[in-house]
């Protein structure tokens, strides 16, 4: 897709998601429990996509590659090795923030 307001329906129906390594795209996919292959954009300065992809891969949550290695990655990957992404805990952040600003 070039642009779509929401991918919720596509994510719900997907067996596998191949996406760029944007944080929103990665987290939305992982929160839905879908296997994910992230394709990094190597042309970005200070390549935050690569950093995120490596971190999620180290945790066992995604596979990552670049455009030139996508086919090889798809052929070699074993989806059964992926680990579920743990759910967020916004209450911990809220509690931390309350302490920082002196509400607790």
User: pLDDT tens for residues 50-64?
Assistant: 889 999 999 999 999
- Which of 36, 26, 29, 38 has its CA nearest to residue 66? 38
pLDDT given for residue 92 in this prediction: 77
Which residues are 65's β-sheet partners?
Answer: 39
Q: Is the pLDDT of residue 1 over 80?
A: no
What letter does residue 33 receive in the DSSP assignment? T
What letter does residue 2 receive in the DSSP assignment? -
Overall average pLDDT of the 10-24 stretch: 93
Overall average pLDDT of the 92-103 stretch: 80
Position with higher pLDDT, 98 vs 12: 12
Overall average pLDDT of the 7-29 stretch: 92
Q: Is the pLDDT of residue 104 over 80?
A: no
Domain ranges for the chain = 7-92
In the chain, which ranges are E strands?
A: 17-20, 36-39, 63-65
What tokens were used for 73? 């990655």
- Which of 40, 72, 76, 77 has its CA nearest to residue 61? 77
**Of 3.20.20.110, 3.90.650.10, 3.40.50.2000, 2.70.240.10, which CATH number belongs to 7-92?**
3.40.50.2000
Q: Residue 46's pLDDT band (boundaries 50, 70, 90)?
A: confident
Position with higher pLDDT, 6 vs 60: 60
């Amino acid at each position: 897709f070039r642009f779509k307001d929401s991918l919720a329906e596509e994510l719900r129906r997907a067996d596998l998601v191949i996406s760029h390594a944007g944080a929103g795209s990665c987290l939305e996919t992982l929160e839905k429990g879908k296997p994910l292959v992230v394709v990094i954009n190597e042309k970005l300065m200070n390549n935050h996509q690569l950093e995120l992809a490596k971190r999620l891969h180290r945790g066992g949550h995604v596979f990552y590659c670049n455009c030139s290695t996508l086919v090889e990655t798809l052929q070699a990957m074993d989806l059964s090795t992926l680990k579920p992404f743990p759910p967020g805990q916004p209450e911990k952040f809220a509690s931390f923030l309350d302490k920082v600003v002196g509400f607790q």
